Amino acid sequence: MNLKTVLTKETINLHLKGTNKQEIINELLDVLVAAKKIQDREAAYAAVMEREQKMSTGMKHGIAIPHGKSATINDLVACIGISDNPIDFDSLDHDPCRIFIMTLSPLEKTGPHLQFLAEISLLFKSSEKRAEILKAANIDDILKILSE
């Protein structure tokens, strides 16, 4: 899977303003709605929050990957948001997060969802890549980093 086929200029926000997990998730959903990637915002919100209740999607190294599956989603959709400030996201390493990657996928398709999560995990293992993402001046920089 090529991240650039899933992530576009319309699905990247370099300046999330939320101050907590719920506000960040809502902002990321707003990005997907504005990009016309999801139609049923309420169903998408419910799917992401249901997953969060099972186990936080705050990973390590300042990254969170809120995600969910919904019958209202036809194909995998994703967005990236960068917060100007560190946000407590109940991360595995207890560190706050600044990089947020949200993905939603159909209930019956697991392949693209798992492939996307694997590719994101690989990309963000690199401390250099994480630093580049946080320093990106614009959306084009983010897309370039994701394609390298």
Query: What is the per-residue pLDDT across 74-107, written as a single tens digit (0 to 9) for each?
Result: 999 999 999 999 999 999 899 999 999 999 999 8
The rounded distance, in Å, linking the Cα atoms of 95 and 61 is 7
| pLDDT beneath 70: ranges in the chain | 1-2
Structural domain that includes position 20 = 3-147
Alpha helices in the chain (DSSP H): 3-6, 21-34, 41-54, 111-124, 127-135, 139-147
> How many distinct structural domains can be found in the chain?
1
Which CATH number goes with the domain that contains 135? 3.40.930.10
